[in-house]
Amino acid sequence: MLFLLYERLKDNPEWARWLNFLRYPTFRIVAAGVFALFVGMVIGPWVIRRLRIQQHGQSNVREDTPDTHQKKKGTPTMGGVLILICIGVGTFLFADLRSAPVWAALTLTFGYAFIGFLDDWLKLSKRNSKGLAGRYKIVLQTMFFLVAVFGFLCDWSQGRPHLLLDTRVTLPFIPLHWFHPDFGWFYVVFAWVVVVGTSNAVNLTDGLDGLAIGPVIMSALTWAVLCYVAGTGISIVVSEAPTLVAEPAWRYLGIPEVPGGAELAVFCASLVGAGIAFLWFNANPAQVFMGDVGSLALGGALGGLAVLSKNEFVSAIIHGVFFAEILSVMIQVASYKTRKKRVFKMAPLHHHFELSGMAEPKIIVRFWIVSILCSGIALLSLKLR
């Protein structure tokens, strides 16, 4: 919104002098994160107070969790509303709202938040932990995914959809000229797997105080770097005797160019700020849980960024914690159905460590450390192609 204001007034010398800082993506990226964090810190206590009043006396703890979780009954859920407000404020104020990728990311975030809201509302109103049936979640996740793709990432001017997304995929540590296959229209199915899988993985990870939001912050920070590098014209000086030649950073690093990447970085920064603000209230012992309205939305946002930034396979590294959590559930279910034996004491993976005697704060911090490691490896892959 502020960027569009600058665009409208930039021809006026007086206004241009005061608003010139808005032309720089770096300023707007940092400003979006700081503003989202500030808003979250200010309105957080009020949001939590309202949630506590509305959910008074209702159990927000799943029945199939370890016994130690039962003492958390009474803690308000649906704190993801706070995250969504902060993301919305930061993005709408500082991003270029003409950017189709930004609107696609917002559609996935708030669309999946709506699904999570339905799930949380059913859990609270029916006073059970079942919520929205899994098949309905998948149907709604698919619907919002298709809205994002065909509503914002397709050109309909020819009367039929022309996908604006690059349908080629890249692999970490492998240069583009070695392997850069084109999936064609099958890419839409592949992208659906990435987005829906990431959303559900984050949802499964949200089981301990601050466990999910820590890796979300690290992932969003990593996506901000990747989107900015791939989406701006910043140049790197390359030595080519007898002269020095400058070329775009994305070309120098051997990664695909991402049109609108700088504006996606603004969205990522809003996500980082919102996550830090929520962590202030969600750290152990939590004052509020994010609920499915938060976890499904954050997962949709991260999955969408993987697709929009053309880092679908790298996302498996960046989201290593989430990937391990959903993989543990898949292994547990497959093992029990085929052998009637469990591989883990309980799935997802964090419950296995709980039942093994590890303290909750230690599990949380170690998962955060693993997330930092995964993000570092993903960033190293930029140079090692």
The count of domains in the chain is 1
pTM score of the predicted model: 0.92
Domain boundaries, position 123: 25-225+265-383
Going by C-beta distance under 8 Å and a sequence separation of 6 or more, which residues neighbour residue 246?
235, 236, 237, 238
Question: For residues 178, 189, 211 and 53, what is the CA-based torsion angle, rounded to 10 degrees?
Answer: 150
What tokens does 336 get? Answer: 């029990």
Q: Does residue 13 lie in a domain region?
A: no
Task: Work out the end-to-end distance of the chain between its first and last CA atoms, rounded to an integer number of angstroms.
Answer: 37
The predicted structure's pLDDT at residue 242: 54
Nearest C-alpha neighbor of 81 from the set 277, 263, 317, 257: 277
Helix then strand count (H, E) for the chain reads 15, 4
Q: Does residue 165 lie in a domain region?
A: yes
How would you class 31 by CB atoms within 10 Å of its CB: exposed for 0-12, middle for 13-18, buried for 19 or more?
A: buried
Q: Does residue 259 lie in a domain region?
A: no
CA 197 – CA 299 distance, rounded (Å): 8
Q: What is the pLDDT along the chain (385 residues), one digit of tens a residue?
A: 787 776 777 767 776 677 777 888 999 999 999 999 999 999 999 999 999 988 864 555 555 566 566 666 778 999 999 999 999 999 999 999 999 999 999 999 999 999 999 999 998 887 766 788 989 999 999 999 999 999 999 988 887 888 888 899 988 888 777 888 999 999 999 999 999 999 999 999 998 999 999 999 999 999 999 999 998 766 565 555 455 566 777 777 778 888 889 999 999 999 999 999 999 999 989 999 999 999 999 999 999 999 999 999 999 999 999 999 999 999 999 999 999 899 999 999 999 999 999 999 999 999 999 999 999 999 998 877 6
Q: Are 3 and 91 in contact (CB under 8 A)?
A: no
Q: Does residue 63 lie in a domain region?
A: yes
Q: Does residue 238 lie in a domain region?
A: no
Residue 284: Cβ within 10 Å count: 13
Q: Does residue 233 lie in a domain region?
A: no
Q: Does residue 275 lie in a domain region?
A: yes
Residues 222-234 as b or e (16 or more Cβ within 10 Å = b): bbbebbbbbbbee
The predicted structure's pLDDT at residue 235: 59
The predicted structure's pLDDT at residue 12: 75
Q: Does residue 4 lie in a domain region?
A: no
What tokens does 59 get? Answer: 């159990």
